[in-house]
Structure 1
Amino acid sequence: MAKFSFADADADEDPPPAAAGSDKRKRDGGDGNAMGISMRIDPDLLDCSICFEPLCPPLYQCQNGHVACLSCWSMLSNKCHVCSHDAIFARNIALEKIVESIKSSCAYAKWGCCELVSYTQRNTHEESCFFAPLMCPIPGCGYRGFTGRWSGHFLVDHHSADFLHFVYGQSFEVNLEASLPFLVLLGEDDHLFLLLNKNMTPFGHAFSVVCLRTGDLNWKFSYEIEAASTRNPENCMQLKASVTNAKEWEGLHPTESFLLVPYDFCSSTNITLSVSVGRSASV
């Protein structure tokens, strides 16, 4: 059974007597705008009882009032899945209006998403929500986590040898196997970065940095990469660029900024780089 709780601002006070000629059918907040009503309802009642997806207009019911979504009704051959009676189905306009009016918080509200989403579009929103969890980039892991919670996963759970911890604004040395496609870098605030390595035969290795993050956009990140020749350390190359943001890495490398390090700068198996990542507040 659905349970409703109405929460008006002056719920503890006796309502004033209605003025003569007032329209009792329409609620407003005194400024001519419709007044919202806070409710609680079992979410299962808003889902189709056949496919369990959110009910989405148009909605049809049998003669006994049992409702399902249109795509499910089309497979029932005019026989209700609840009462099993043959029936001629009719639109339930009232329920359509209720479903269309319901808005709910995103499932990732506690991670920063402030959107109130139409219930019928909630699944679609959450699939693309910027605050949704990220997939761990280590192949075969499958863990999904949120920005700010990566230390526990990498330090404790699985990948203590698969990443480097760094402090913003301080250079650190990276000795990377030439065959590795990326190295995980974990910032002091738990932001997750990838130092990407793309073999650009016959030229050399292209290096860039991306930040895998959802939610917090209060920070802008930049990076510097410097590579020195193993044969002549006086010969060096340097790149300063903005970090690219990504929700997940699917093997695509940034094309706007990267440092192309010739093979002559590298040993046969390893590449040594000096890297630093900077952080500044977004304006």
Structure 2
Amino acid sequence: MIAACFCIFQCQNGHVACFSCWSRLTNKCHICSNEANFVRNIALEKVVESVKSACSYAKWGCSKLVSYSLRNAHEESCLFSPSKCPIPGCGYRGFTGWWSGHFHTNHNNDSLRFSYGQCFKVSLEISVPFLVLLSEDDHLFLLLNKNMMPYGHALSVGCLRTGNLNWNFFYEMKATSEGNTENSLQLKASVTNTKDWRGLHPTEAFLLVPYAFCRSGKLTLFVSIERVADVR
């Protein structure tokens, strides 16, 4: 079935109009000005539908050829479309490979840089919903912190990602207690990819850290992220 926005109409003299133009017309043709009873031009609709063009994000790597009627739906979900910067109030939309420059210029104090395979320490304010982690190859990760009253804080790692998914990511996270560093909790899980963070944990796995671990208002974490090539 052809979507309504893709319909093509014609008057009795053969003059055509797309759905958007036709919906603004009265009963007069916009070309010949004659009184017109518009009908669908199914043959022309099929011709237009058979023509496919490159996605608007082709220069960023998308190789899909899409028809006119499916173009909007494809580009809304295209892996190569830009992601929105997660910092509140920032309207920037960018791609994997652009984040370092954006954060260096606009949010230099709001991110932490790391190298794959190396453990790094994070002191996270319990009121902060996420911390931006920038990798050496410019992937943007989010260390997510969700207050799960009355149990504690749910912590996980997601990747704000566009483009080719040639890499799989895994992380290990360890939380230590302020009162007794011998007490610790640890999680090993895969990183879930998401195009835009909407305030929710995008992963099934998370580390639940009880409030007793962070009485001073900070969580002490040790995190490492691994990058593995996708050989499928």
Quote the residue 2:120 is aligned against.
172
Query: How many pairs does the alignment contain?
Result: 229
- Higher strand fraction: Structure 1 or Structure 2? 2
Q: Structure 1 pair 119/230, CA: closer, same or farther in 2 (3 Å)?
A: same
Q: Secondary structure at the match of 1:273?
A: strand
Tell me whether 181-190 or 256-265 shows the greater mean CA deviation: 256-265
Q: d(CA) in 1 for partners of 2:157 and 2:58?
A: 29
Gaps in structure 2 of 5+ consecutive residues: none
C-alpha contact (below 8 Å) 1:66/1:82 kept by paired residues = yes
State the Cα distance separating 1:165 from its structure 2 match. 0.8
Q: Secondary structure at the match of 1:209?
A: strand
Q: d(CA) in 1 for partners of 2:203 and 2:78?
A: 25
Quote the residue 2:191 is aligned against.
243
Q: Secondary structure at the match of 2:216?
A: coil
Q: Secondary structure at the match of 1:215?
A: coil
Tell me whether 101-110 or 89-98 shows the greater mean CA deviation: 89-98
State the Cα distance separating 1:271 from its structure 2 match. 1.4
State the Cα distance separating 1:95 from its structure 2 match. 2.7
The TM-score, its normalising length taken from structure 1, stands at: 0.75
Quote the residue 2:147 is aligned against.
199
Quote the residue 1:114 is aligned against.
63
The TM-score, its normalising length taken from structure 2, stands at: 0.91
Which residue among 90, 104, 107 is the counterpart of 1:141?
90
C-alpha contact (below 8 Å) 2:5/2:20 kept by paired residues = no
Residue 207 of structure 2 aligns to which amino acid in structure 1?
L
Q: CA RMSD in A?
A: 2.0
Q: Which is higher, the Rg of structure 1 or of structure 2?
A: 1
The 5-angstrom pairing of residues 224-235 of structure 1 reads 224-235=172-183
Residue 270 of structure 1 aligns to which amino acid in structure 2?
K
Q: Structure 1 pair 219/111, CA: closer, same or farther in 2 (3 Å)?
A: same
Q: d(CA) in 2 for partners of 1:178 and 1:74?
A: 53
Structure number with greater CO (CA < 8 Å, separation at least 6) is 2
State the Cα distance separating 1:255 from its structure 2 match. 5.3
Tell me whether 142-151 or 88-97 shows the greater mean CA deviation: 88-97
Which residue among 101, 104, 110 is the counterpart of 1:152?
101
Q: Structure 1 pair 248/74, CA: closer, same or farther in 2 (3 Å)?
A: closer
Q: d(CA) in 2 for partners of 1:126 and 1:71?
A: 20
Structure 1 stretches of 4+ with a deviation exceeding 4 A read 54-57
Aligned sequence identity (%): 69
C-alpha contact (below 8 Å) 2:141/2:157 kept by paired residues = yes
Residue 258 of structure 1 aligns to which amino acid in structure 2?
F
C-alpha contact (below 8 Å) 1:55/1:68 kept by paired residues = no
State the Cα distance separating 1:84 from its structure 2 match. 3.2
Q: Secondary structure at the match of 1:217?
A: coil
**1:182 correspondence with 2:155:** no
The 5-angstrom pairing of residues 5-154 of structure 1 reads 57-70=6-19, 72-154=21-103
Quote the residue 2:211 is aligned against.
263
